[in-house]
Amino acid sequence: MTNLISNIIPPAPSQGGGVVEGVPDLQAVTSTGAVTVDQVTFNSGITTTAITPVAGQVSLNGNFVATGDISGISLNTHTIPAGSGTIALTTDLFSGNYNDLTNKPTIFSGNYDDLTNKPTIPSYNEVYMNFGTSTSFNPGIPAVSAGNVMQHEDGTTGDIQLSSTVSSGYTKVLITLDAIIWNHTDSTTEAQVALERQINTGSWTVLRQLIFPNANGFYGSQFFQYIDTHGASTGDTVKYRIRNSMNTGYGSESLRLVTGICGDTFGIKEVE
Residue 224 located in a structural domain: yes
Where does the pLDDT of residue 259 fall: very low under 50, low under 70, confident under 90, or very high at 90 and above? very high
33 and 47 in contact (C-beta within 8 Å)?
no
Domain boundary among 77, 94, 111: 94
What is the full DSSP assignment across 176-233? EEEE-EEESS-TTS-EEEEEEEEETTS--EEEEEEEE--TTT--S-EEEEEEEE--PP
Q: How high is the mean pLDDT of the chain?
A: 78
User: Residue 100 — φ and ψ, nearest 5°?
Assistant: -80, -10
Residue 187 located in a structural domain: yes
Residue 262 has what pLDDT? Answer: 93
Residue 114 located in a structural domain: no
Residue 240 located in a structural domain: yes
Environment class of residue 139 by beta-carbon count within 10 Å: exposed (0-12), middle (13-18) or buried (19+)? middle
Where does the pLDDT of residue 148 fall: very low under 50, low under 70, confident under 90, or very high at 90 and above? very high
Query: Does residue 86 share a domain with residue 146?
Result: no
98 C-beta neighbours (distance < 10 Å), count: 9
Query: Does residue 88 share a domain with residue 42?
Result: yes
DSSP 143: P
Sheet holding 126-130, edge to edge: 126-130, 265-271, 172-179, 222-229
Residue 5 located in a structural domain: no
Residue 10 has what pLDDT? Answer: 44
User: Residue 72 — φ and ψ, nearest 5°?
Assistant: 90, -5
Query: Does residue 139 share a domain with residue 90?
Result: no
Which string of b and e fits 75-88 if b means at least 16 CB within 10 Å?
Answer: beeeebeeeeeebe
Residue 10 located in a structural domain: no
Query: Does residue 216 share a domain with residue 267?
Result: yes
Which string of b and e fits 228-238 if b means at least 16 CB within 10 Å?
Answer: bebebeeeeeb
Query: Does residue 89 share a domain with residue 152?
Result: no
Highest mean pLDDT among 1-5, 14-18, 137-141: 137-141
CA 175 to chain centre: 29
Residue 89 has what pLDDT? Answer: 47
Residue 95 has what pLDDT? Answer: 74
Query: Does residue 243 share a domain with residue 185?
Result: yes
Query: Does residue 133 share a domain with residue 212?
Result: yes
Query: Does residue 194 share a domain with residue 88?
Result: no
Give the mean model confidence (pLDDT) for residues 179-207: 97
Cα–Cα distance between 224 and 219 in angstroms, integer? 16
Domain that residue 42 falls in: 18-94
* CATH code for the domain in which residue 132 is found: 2.60.120
Give pLDDT tens digits for 104-124: 887 888 888 888 888 877 788
Cα–Cα distance between 235 and 161 in angstroms, integer? 19
What total of structural domains would you count in the chain? 2
Helix, strand and coil in the chain, % to nearest 5: 0, 40, 60
Residue 59 has what pLDDT? Answer: 52
Percentage with pLDDT > 70 across the chain = 66
Residue 73 has what pLDDT? Answer: 52
pLDDT above 90 (res 96) = no
8 C-beta neighbours (distance < 10 Å), count: 9
Query: Does residue 135 share a domain with residue 58?
Result: no
